[in-house]
Amino acid sequence: MAEAASAKHDVFQAIADPTRRELLKLLSGQELPLKDISSRFPISRTAVSKHLRILAEAGLVRERKVGRETRYRLDADPLLELKRWLAYYERFWENKLSLLKHYVESEPGAEPAGLRPVPTPPSGSASETPGE
């Protein structure tokens, strides 16, 4: 826990950027040096290095010196925090999907339990088309 508190960037901040998510995907199956990583992105090597630093500060990327180059690899353990957070909210989606399934499979015209009907606009509202 002390390690997480001392991190400059948390997992949520780190994965908020699409480039960093692509970096994680790239590093998920292999360890690569900066030159190989940066050649796969339309941004400068310095920008890629900054993204990698943010990922490393969040604990998502590990660095290893091999001779004069630094190689990077994914460390997916911190993603468990994200998985736990999403799992909490998953139950809300499951409930809504269950209600939708029940609604779709119910008899036509039947109002499913747990769903509120959409109110109809009052007559004379702006949503009516001219001539009605």
Q: DSSP characters for 85-121?
A: HHHHHHHHHHHHHHHHHHHHHSPTTPPPTT-PPPPPP
Identify the pLDDT of residue 102.
83
Instruction: Tell me how long the chain is.
Output: 132
Per residue of the chain (132 residues), what is the pLDDT tens digit?
444 444 567 899 999 999 999 999 999 989 999 999 999 999 999 999 999 999 999 999 999 999 999 999 999 999 998 899 888 888 888 888 888 888 888 877 666 565 565 566 666 544 444 444
* SS3 assignment, position 72: strand
Taking the C-alpha atoms of 106, 109, 115 and 119 in order, what is their torsion angle to the nearest 10 degrees?
160
Read off the pTM. Answer: 0.65
H or E stretch including 74?
strand 69-74
Q: Give the count of beta carbons closer than 10 Å to the beta carbon of residue 27.
A: 22
